[in-house]
Structure 1
Amino acid sequence: MEVQNQFKKYQALGNQICQEMLGAIFKLGFSFDDIAGCLVFDGAQFSLTKDPYTAEENLTGCWYDAHKQRIGQIQFNSDASFYAEYDIVKPHPTSKQWFVEAMSAWGNADGIKTEAKLLPALE
């Protein structure tokens, strides 16, 4: 199946995943200006990747910053599940003991879960 067909198949869910991730990022206390790049589904560059276990094709999208450094990825698996991660790489805005590495999301069309990847801040 070609990339464009897979993209259209997952576009609504992809938009919802991005909104959930942005909501979780804002809930931490970050503002829109704090986020490098733009966490928009259509803003990712998509390709098809072969799942090594099922040999099926997965839709994989990557987000890049202005310097062409990858800052996030989303993958829709052949079993209808997904996993996404978007780099934050900033001190937590309200809890100085934490550093926010990234925001991740996983699930399927029936449910989206999000979680911040936190590291202890350096003192």
Structure 2
Amino acid sequence: MRSTLQVRLEQTQGLMEELWDEMDACLRQAGLSSPLPDRIEPTRSELREDPFDHSLGLYLEWRSGSGGLLGTVLVYASDMLFAEFDVLAAHPGKAGWVVEAVTAWGNPGALKSELRLLPALAE
């Protein structure tokens, strides 16, 4: 018998594909190559209770081989999601800016994404 976590992972497979495509497009539009994991299984997956309505959301995280956090995705019971993955690269089109991360949010069929920028340190 499949666990609730396994069922939820299967239910969100299409949404995860849509998420990866959205974040990849955001990165490509800025002229960056994607630092996203190659659609591999997350390092950690669990169901988390939402403190507001007590529904169960799906939490996913990806870590590097050395244990560093690469990114996270939280899919709420309503299928609304929030995702964030580290980029840490100079912005190719904006001198003096660093791309800290790519974030995405929204509902299936209506995901949005953007780069989170930081000013580069002065030399």
**TM-score normalized by the length of structure 2:** 0.88
Paired AA for residue 75 in structure 2 = F
Deviation at 1:49, TM superposition (A): 0.7
Given that 1:47 and 1:59 are in contact with CA atoms closer than 8 Å, whether structure 2 keeps it comes out as: yes
Distance 1:93 1:64 in 2: 25
Q: What does residue 26 of structure 1 align with?
A: 28
Q: What does residue 66 of structure 1 align with?
A: 65
Q: What does residue 43 of structure 1 align with?
A: 41
Q: What does residue 19 of structure 2 align with?
A: 17
Deviation at 1:39, TM superposition (A): 5.0
Q: Which runs of 5+ in 2 are unaligned?
A: none
Change (3 A) 1:23 1:39: farther
1:1-123 correspondence to structure 2 within 5 Å: 2-32=4-34, 35=35, 38=37, 40=39, 42-44=40-42, 45-123=44-122
Change (3 A) 1:43 1:7: same
Higher helix residue share: 1
2:60 aligns to what SS in structure 1? strand
Paired AA for residue 87 in structure 1 = D
Identity percentage of aligned residues? 28
**TM-score normalized by the length of structure 1:** 0.88
Regions of 4+ moved over 4 Å? none
Q: How many residues align?
A: 119
**Structure 1 vs Structure 2 CA RMSD:** 1.5
Given that 1:18 and 1:39 are in contact with CA atoms closer than 8 Å, whether structure 2 keeps it comes out as: no
Given that 1:91 and 1:100 are in contact with CA atoms closer than 8 Å, whether structure 2 keeps it comes out as: yes
Q: Which runs of 5+ in 1 are unaligned?
A: none
